[in-house]
Amino acid sequence: MTAHPPAIGHLEQLVGVSFCDAQLLRQAFIHRSVLNENPSVGLDSNERLEFLGDAFLGFMVASMLFERDPNANEGTLTKQRSALVQRDTLAGVVERRGWGSALMMGAGEEARGGRTRRSTLANLYEAVLGAVLLDQGETVARAFSLGTLRDAIAELDAGSLAVDHKSLLQERCQAQRWTNPTYRLVEDQGPPHARHYTVEVLVNSEAWGRGSGTSLRRAEKDAAREALEHFPLNVTETPS
């Protein structure tokens, strides 16, 4: 373990909520690597709280978007929800509020850059939200989440909050009970300092989109964007 558990008062100050059950808040800040390195430490990781927070966040954001714009269609609402709940949006909230500094983490995970890993930070946000929900109830948890996402919602309204096309495509596939999309490298060109990648995204083993970019991540996002352009909004059958 890289540090002693932070004081509850410090965690409450960071989060901005006074907890009835302090253990819930502390658990939200325990990364699973603590347990992996110290199996007898007698603590629980934040993964269960993350699960709960993720589910509540998706419902809460969908409900908020549905209520505030009666004229938005399903496609628009789905894209807006994806932009607000995506990893980079949640990680940005955690970074701005400094929550990551209080996350208990195993020494090995921290050495590998875990404290600044955006997926870890996004998971921390969901775990904190899950803790708030259990301790304070739905009304407070909704207000807490909308408050922490205020800047992201403003960016969404201004058109400056980018959609994570890979996450949105995966969400669409999961809604159809399909397997998750997979990405296949088609071409890798250029000198080592200026590589250019071409990638295909496969949905149910069929190529639905192709993208390119100066990194695999950019190429995959571009491929997912193209796949979404051809994704029917009301699909009921697996494509043949």
Catalytic residue list: 54, 126
Structure tokens at 19: 């907890």
Q: What is the DSSP letter of 137?
A: -
Q: How many DSSP H helices and E strands does the chain contain?
A: 12, 3
Owner of token pair 């491929």: 223
Q: What is the DSSP letter of 206?
A: E
**Per DSSP, what are the bridge partners of residue 187?**
198
Contacts of 237 (CB under 8 A, 6+ apart): none
DSSP 164-198: -HHHHHHHHHHHTTPPPPEEEEEEEES-GGG-EEE
SS3 125: helix
Q: Which amino acid type is present at position 19?
A: F
Per the CB < 8 A criterion, the answer to whether 161 and 221 are in contact is no
Cross-sheet strand order for the sheet of 206-213:
182-189, 196-203, 206-213
Residue 49: half-sphere exposure toward Cβ, Cα within 13 Å: 27
